[in-house]
Amino acid sequence: MQPVPLDGHPVYESVFMITYVAWTVFELKTGRSRKSSDPTRAQDRESFWFLVGMIWIGVALAWIMAFALPRAAFSGKRTEIFIAGIALMWAGIGFRYYAMRVLGRYFTFQVAAHAWQTVIEAGSYRYIRHPSYTGALITVLGLGMALGNWEGMIALVACVGVGYAYRIRVEEAVLRDALGQPYRDYMARTRRLIPILL
């Protein structure tokens, strides 16, 4: 059973490809424009490249499983799940962009802290510490749903989740050291990715 966007429906195929390309271009463009202004201060511990690797491994697995494991294809309401997946991809992209805008100059793709940096608690940062990562996870969940294979979706979300788990650990250690007690207090009253739950 082919994924819905590749099952002979030109409209679904076009919608999927536009969404997939938009996500890829968004990540590439923001990645280039959000490099640390002082790369010598980066304390990344290779978390950026580990995360990128896990994302692309997850994406590759999702595509492969969508074709190689037809038994794991969603059996019912495939079109509705596809549409929901596309909607989630756009919602995730939008939420990630919003989080980047709220964080402003402090948002970089390299983990780095500055002496003048403060704890940001505006918007979604009031409730969760890493809303841009939440947006990315929503996007890849949507991609897995759009491809229509539950095993591929689980593999994709698991790979990206592992990448972000390491990234968050590195980032929070750097911020705790750089910002001190204000960031520790912020950690105590917020969740990492999902309000109340996680």
Class (C level, CATH) for 4-30+43-106+116-189? mainly alpha
Long-range contacts of 118-124 (CB under 8 A, 24+ apart): 118/179, 118/182, 119/179, 119/182, 119/183, 119/186, 121/186, 123/98, 123/99, 124/95, 124/98, 124/99
Stronger pLDDT, 58 or 28, i.e. the higher one: 58
114-158 confidence digits (pLDDT tens) = 666 789 899 999 999 999 999 999 999 999 999 999 999 999 999
Compute the average pLDDT of residues 6-32.
89
8 A C-beta contact, residue 107 and residue 119 = no
**pLDDT band at residue 40, thresholds of 50, 70 and 90?**
very low
Give the percent of the chain with pLDDT over 90.
Answer: 68
Question: Six-digit token pair at 68?
Answer: 């190689």
Q: Among 24-28, 50-54, 70-74, 193-197, whose mean pLDDT is lowest?
A: 193-197
Query: Domain residue spans in the chain?
Result: 4-30+43-106+116-189
- Entry pTM: 0.90
Closest CA to 73 of 139, 158, 7: 7
Q: Cα separation of 19 and 15, whole Å?
A: 6
The pLDDT of residue 39 is above 50:
no
